Amino acid sequence: MERVALHRLILFSLILAIITALSLVMPSDRQWINLPLHSTMEAVEALAVFLMALFLLQGREDPEHKLTLPGLGFLVMGILNIAHAASLPGGQFIHLRALANLAGGAGFALVWLPAARQTGLRKAGSVWSVAAGSGLFVLLAFLFPYSLPAMAVQGEFRAAAVAINAVAGLLFLAGTWRFLADFLRSGAVEDLLFGVVGGLFGLSGLTFWHSLLWSEAWWSWHGLRLAASLLVLGLLLRRHLQTVGALKELLHERSRSEDALRRSYKLTKTIIDSMNDAISLVDVKDFTIIGVNSVFLKEYGFSAESEVVGKHCYEITHKRSEVCTAPDDICPLGETVRTGDHFAADHVHFGTKGPKYVEVSTSPITDENGTVVQVVHVARDITDRKRAEQERERLLADIARSNKELEQFAYVASHDLQEPLRMVSGFIGLLEKRYKGRLDEKADRYIRFAVDGALRMQKLIEGLLGYSRVTTRAGELKNVAVNSVFDEAVLNLSAMVRDSNAVVARDELPTVVGVETQLLQLLQNLLANAIKFKRPGVRPEIRVSSVRTGQGWTFSVRDNGIGIAKEHFERIFQIFQRLHSSDEYPGAGIGLAVCKKIVERHGGNIWAESVPGEGTTFFFTIAAKQAQAASDRAA
């Protein structure tokens, strides 16, 4: 770019040198008088300079604008040149031209003044002051045309006119030097054009001494100024074409943006209309609807968007004349406006099929200051879900009531059955004691069957009563040291432990919140099972451990017994379910069911892991933070 700029500068310098040489060799003694042509050339120059002034002063608000002072100089030059072109030959004729050149050159040379120093001159008042001052001078020149000394006598310009034009030429050339230096640095074409304009005006000022009025040298001087003026008009035309081109590109870009916006709107509208939720856009100033999707129209019984736009949202969705107010009706729109955040709540809306449950969610749209101006309102019909929830709650309430009645029935039945069963067992025992051996062998066998059945029935009733008491007599929640509970359970099973020669051990166990009697029953049942289901010929070995898991404790009771097949892991916790006959392993099939109920009452779970022939491990959890829930259940 620097090489291209240098080549253009050299070409410009050669052209100026040729023009200067031609101007100096033009004869000054031959005259050619043509007043219309002269007036036309003066008018063209005046108009070009005035337009240039307006062009340069446009960017004066920019702190980096360096053309404010040249613009003011051209403004004075343009006003005085217009007056000069409109005047008849006389004293003011020469003064207006000379002072116009001097003002233009002074402003052009002040381009060397840094842009920051031109701050005070960028105000509109400065421009109007300069224009008013120039106009006042023109007025005085026209009112008193002969008050100033003559600047030309018998067609020859006096020294004052020559000196003023020479100074103006030097000033123009000084500004030209700055523009050409900027051109070498930046390569900007406009800097080169300004340099050419300044150079032509400068040469015209320096060659003015060679001319006489109406001589060929004088016309050559006018030619230099006309060339500068035409270049100014060319510069203005170039800038105009650039502006028009930029405007066309801007309009084209705007058209593309509008097309893209229309496509985006159409796509967004299609997406929103394809959703199953009723969506509306609401103005927060008065809660009026701005727009809705097709589902909204269908759900609330409208055929066109124009039927709802402009109406209040609560008129359409709630069939009411005023906004929802807290605490009875929480308005999601109001909450989003208040908090500036997303909000959701369940409401009852009124659609084409009457009242319906909807899940309303609202999201804010803010302006550049972060103020909520619009809200996106989404209403999802959850009527079926609400009805299903209500039906589920009703069924759960029915089940809870039924379970409570069954538990109460089981307790009452088992409790009331004990007395007649005790009487039956007593009399069968007496019958066996008095008549054993006195009847035949078959009678003795029948009596023995009756005694065994009565005993099994008694155990079943006792087990059922214990199972029901887990609920009906829950006990008090308190801190329970599981170490002590384990020791008491082993003590209660001491005869069983001794008879089986079992080894029952524990790790350090924690303190938990629970019902002590139930935790004792839980451990006692699991330990008894582990001893009872031992492998033949193998000494039972049982260990109780615990580990902290999350917010609770996981306990394990591990044995080396006969084990359990995987397909029976669920069945063993069901009441009265047995995997073996009572002849092989005595029991009522209630113990593990009671364990499951106790663990669930404490907010935990129980399960088994086993390898048949190697042993079984029962795990159960006690949730440390479920004390309140367990207390509620115990109550």
Tens-place pLDDT, residues 351-371: 877 888 888 898 998 888 888
> What pLDDT, on the 0 to 100 scale, is given for residue 628?
42
Residue 10 has pLDDT above 60, yes or no: no
What's 350's DSSP letter? E
Higher-pLDDT residue of 132 and 450 is 132
Residue 413 has pLDDT above 80, yes or no: no
Residue 15 CA to its chain's centroid (Å): 63
What counts of helices (H) and strands (E) characterise the chain? 18, 14
355-384 burial, b if ≥16 CB within 10 A, otherwise e?
Answer: ebbbbbbbbbeeeeeeebebbbbbbbbbbe
Average pLDDT rounded to a whole number, residues 490-499: 86
Nearest to residue 228, comparing CAs of 41, 383, 14, 431?
41
Average pLDDT rounded to a whole number, residues 379-385: 86
Question: With bands split at pLDDT 50, 70 and 90, how would you rate the model's confidence at 228?
Answer: confident
Question: Residue 427 in contact with residue 553, Cβ under 8 Å?
Answer: no
Mean pLDDT of the chain: 75
For residue 356, which phi and psi values (nearest 5 degrees)? -150, 150
Give start and end residues of each alpha helix (H) in 275-382.
294-300, 313-317, 332-339
474: left (phi over 0), alpha (psi -120 to 50) or beta: alpha
Residue 635 has pLDDT above 50, yes or no: no
For 387-472, CATH number out of 2.30.140, 1.10.287, 1.10.150, 1.10.10 equals 1.10.287
The per-residue DSSP string of 170-234 comes to: HHHHHHHHHHHHHHHHH--HHHHHHHHHHHHHHHHHHTGGG--TTBHHHHHHHHHHHHHHHHHHH
Average pLDDT rounded to a whole number, residues 391-400: 81
Residue 4 has pLDDT above 60, yes or no: no
Give start and end residues of each alpha helix (H) in 2-66.
2-25, 35-57
**What is the fold, at CATH topology level, of the domain defined by 474-634?**
Heat Shock Protein 90 (3.30.565)
Question: With bands split at pLDDT 50, 70 and 90, how would you rate the model's confidence at 1?
Answer: very low
> What pLDDT, on the 0 to 100 scale, is given for residue 555?
92
* CB-count burial class (<10 Å; 0-12, 13-18, 19+) for 460: middle
Average pLDDT rounded to a whole number, residues 165-191: 82
Cβ-based neighbours of 456, under 8 Å, separated by 6 or more = 582, 588
**CATH of segment(s) 276-381:** 3.30.450.20
Same fold, 387-472 and 474-634: no
What is the rounded CA–CA span in Å between residue 253 and residue 231?
A: 32
Cβ-based neighbours of 481, under 8 Å, separated by 6 or more = 509, 511
> For the chain, how big is the Rg over CA atoms in Å?
55
Which tens digit of pLDDT belongs to each residue from 86-101?
776 554 567 777 888 8
- Inter-axis angle of helices 2-25 and 216-274, nearest 10: 150
Q: Where are the domains of the chain?
A: 2-245, 276-381, 387-472, 474-634
Nearest to residue 617, comparing CAs of 547, 564, 553?
564
Which tens digit of pLDDT belongs to each residue from 541-597?
999 999 988 778 899 999 998 888 887 777 777 766 566 555 555 556 677 888 888
Question: With bands split at pLDDT 50, 70 and 90, how would you rate the model's confidence at 519?
Answer: confident
> What pLDDT, on the 0 to 100 scale, is given for residue 557?
92
What is the rounded CA–CA span in Å between residue 589 and residue 243?
A: 98
Which tens digit of pLDDT belongs to each residue from 19-65?
555 554 555 556 566 667 767 777 777 777 777 777 777 765 555 55
Residue 255 has pLDDT above 50, yes or no: yes
36-73 burial, b if ≥16 CB within 10 A, otherwise e?
Answer: eeeeebbbbbbbbbbbbbebbbeebeeeebbbbbbbbb
Residue 6 has pLDDT above 60, yes or no: no
Average pLDDT rounded to a whole number, residues 291-320: 85
Out of 208-212, 312-316, 521-525, 562-566, least confident range: 208-212
What is the rounded CA–CA span in Å between residue 82 and residue 98?
A: 13
Average pLDDT rounded to a whole number, residues 363-383: 87
Question: Residue 275 in contact with residue 298, Cβ under 8 Å?
Answer: no
Q: To which H or E segment does residue 78 belong?
A: helix 68-86
Beta-strand pair 511-514/478-481: antiparallel
Higher-pLDDT residue of 133 and 581 is 133
